Amino acid sequence: MSVRRTIHPKYPHKFQPIADLDQDPPVQNTWYAVFSGTGGLRIRILAARQINNEGWARNIEFRMTIDGTAIDATVTDQASGSWYYWYILPSSDRVIGATPGAWMAHNYVAVECHDALIEMRITEAPGTNQFLDGRVHYETLERLPG
């Protein structure tokens, strides 16, 4: 996997519809695919939230498999109803973390790859009316005419 910024004059990246997961209810320790794609991908934003009637915090895990390399990360005690944004730090292609609240794109880098599979799961017993939501904002290479 590589984290890099590349300009392709004849093949610019084009935003695609947001890939999403709305799992109701999730099963503990079951992986759910949020996004799967091949060919000239740029992953921009990963977001997740969990909601339950009790308002309990839950542990959420993301697994990114990028060009055959898997990276896992867990947020412990993710607050019910709060979106968390996952990122790869610019200084490393192996460090993934998450932050609650607003996405700050200037702090993180996009991941460019050929193949990507992004999954998430809840690692604790689900609460009442438990939901697991995931979003992936991504781009694909598009050939310019001519």
Q: pLDDT digits over 18-30, tens only?
A: 999 999 999 999 9
pLDDT digits (tens, 9 = 90+) for 56-89: 999 998 888 989 988 888 888 888 998 888 777 6
Q: What is the DSSP annotation of 117-136?
A: EEEEEE-S---TT-EEEEEE
Q: Is the pLDDT confidence value at 95 over 60?
A: no
What pLDDT score does 108 carry?
A: 65
Beta strands 111-122; 58-66: pairing state: antiparallel
pLDDT digits (tens, 9 = 90+) for 106-129: 556 678 899 999 999 999 999 999
Q: Which two tokens stand for residue 142?
A: 């598009």
Q: Is the pLDDT confidence value at 143 over 60?
A: yes
The whole-number average pLDDT for the span 125-139 is: 93
What pLDDT score does 6 carry?
A: 54
Largest CA distance in the chain: 57
Domain ranges of the chain: 14-67+77-109
